[in-house]
Amino acid sequence: MISQISPQTSYSKPKDMTKIALIDGDSFLYRAGFSVEKTKYLVESFSDGLGTELKAPEYSYAPDSKEASARAEALKGVIWTRKEVGSVNDAVAVLDSMIKKALKAIDCETYFLYLSPSTGNFRDSIGTIRKYKGNRDGLSRPVYYTDLREHLGTVHQAIVARGEEADDQISWVARKWREQHRDYTIVGIDKDLKQIPGKHYDWVEDKHVEVNEEEARIYYWAQVLAGDSGDNVVGCWKMGLRKAENFLLSCDDFSDEAMWPKIVRKFKESQKLEGCPYKDLEAAEVALETIRLIRLRRTMNERLWEPPQGKKEEDYPPL
């Protein structure tokens, strides 16, 4: 089993540590696991594609599902699939190689790698409009999921978050270290991580960016407005990330006190649009649920976010 290192003992500073990587291990695990799982597509054809039926079916392999579908349609065929899985050693080798390559890209040797728990996430009890991550129900994990988690625990001393996601723990650790002026880089591909100020490295796109405090806060509010389709969070109905960012260009104060009534008003406006799934609910309640689902924790064991006291929608001029 993976060791669950307590936060009280996990973050003691090693000797001569100057640069630290905070790694979101979930994406590494899934990418490595699925890298050794290949689906083969065989198309059984019954036509020559020119309207003439074949006396006997012909068979051909397609490189991917898109090409297989195109051939099947053109040749009046059917698609057969077969899943081929490499060895667990191959998956482990890919995993280690990915982590090593990412650390080399940021010129860092010291790192802490975080994993989300298999069960037990405080957001699970918050989502009422839509089940949090309900769109992932039934989606398969890599065949070697358990083996790779154990490897990350024993070899990379993975820290398993408790009652929260890896992103949450990275968030509050990074903020704590930022206050201590430590040099850290967040390594991951999840867009939620942009809520965290500091240096970031997208190891898939090989992109280095630095997010300042204001940029992190703006992105956080943009996510609240846009929602997160990947996590099944609806957000403001019919408002994508681009529209959210355009709206935020008109704002000059991104504090909770300034943004809360504006966010509520945008949710109220969205209730008038056709198909809104929360049109009969209180806009403030919908906005509050969305914030609690989107917001990464900023301190250890942080309580659920509450609206600023004394700030009501009617206290502000129209948008």
Q: What is the pLDDT of residues 8-62, one digit of tens each?
A: 333 334 444 579 999 999 999 999 999 999 888 888 888 877 878 888 888 888 8
Average pLDDT over residues 305-311: 82
- Say which residue, 53 or 270, is predicted with more confidence: 270
Least confident of 42-46, 165-169, 272-276, 285-289: 42-46
Task: State pLDDT tens for residues 70-105.
Answer: 988 888 889 888 888 999 999 999 999 999 999 999
Lowest mean pLDDT segment, chosen from 14-18, 120-124, 152-156, 215-219:
14-18
- Whole-Å CA distances, 101 to 28, 95, 183: 12, 10, 19
What is each CA distance from 82 to 38, 39, 66, 113, 123, in whole angstroms? Answer: 8, 6, 16, 34, 37
Strand 19-24 to 53-62 pairing: unpaired
**pLDDT above 80 for 155:** yes
* Full-model pTM: 0.83
Question: pLDDT for 277-293, tens place per residue?
Answer: 999 999 999 999 999 99
CATH number of the 17-34+88-211 domain:
3.40.50.1010
| Residue spans per domain, the chain | 17-34+88-211, 39-77, 214-315
pLDDT reading at 210 higher than 60: yes
| Residue 24, φ and ψ in degrees, nearest 5 | -80, 100
* pLDDT exceeds cutoff 80 at 6: no
Confidence of residue 112 (pLDDT cuts 50, 70, 90): very high
Q: Cβ distance 310 to 256 under 8 Å?
A: no
Contact (Cβ atoms closer than 8 angstroms) between residue 174 and residue 190: no
Backbone phi and psi for residue 282, each to the nearest 5 degrees, phi listed first: -70, 130
| Share above pLDDT 90 across residues of the chain, in percent, rounded to a whole number | 71
Q: What is the pLDDT of residue 82?
A: 87
Residue 300 has pLDDT above 80, yes or no: yes
Of 202, 251, 201, 200, which Cα lies nearest the Cα of 225? 251
Dihedral sign (CA 216, 217, 218, 224): positive
Q: How far apart are CA 149 and CA 91, in angstroms?
A: 11
Supply the DSSP string of the chain, one letter for each residue: ------HHHHTPPPTT--EEEEEEHHHHHHHHHHHTEEEEEEEEEEE-SSSPEEEEEEEEEESSHHHHHHHHHHTT-EEEEEEEE--HHHHHHHHHHHHHHHHHHTT--EEEEEE--SS-BGGGGT-SSS-TTGGGTTPPPPTTHHHHHHHHHHHH-PEEPSBS-HHHHHHHHHHHHHHTT-EEEEE---GGGGGS-EEEEETTTTEEEEE-HHHHHHHHHHHHHH-BGGGTB--STT--HHHHHHHHTT-S--SHHHHHHHHHHHHHHHTTSTT-TTTTS-HHHHHHHHHHHHPPPSSTTPPPP-PPTT--GGGS---
- Residue 312 confidence class, pLDDT cut points 50, 70, 90: low
319 pLDDT band, cuts 50/70/90, is: very low
Query: What is the rounded distance in angstroms from the CA atom of residue 297 to the CA atom of residue 215?
Result: 17
- Main-chain phi, psi angles of 76, to 5 degrees: 50, 50
Q: What is the mean pLDDT of the chain?
A: 89
List C-alpha distances in Å: 304 to 124, 188, 307, 312.
Answer: 13, 25, 10, 19
Strand partners, 42: 61, 80
Phi, psi of 126 (to 5 degrees): -95, -45
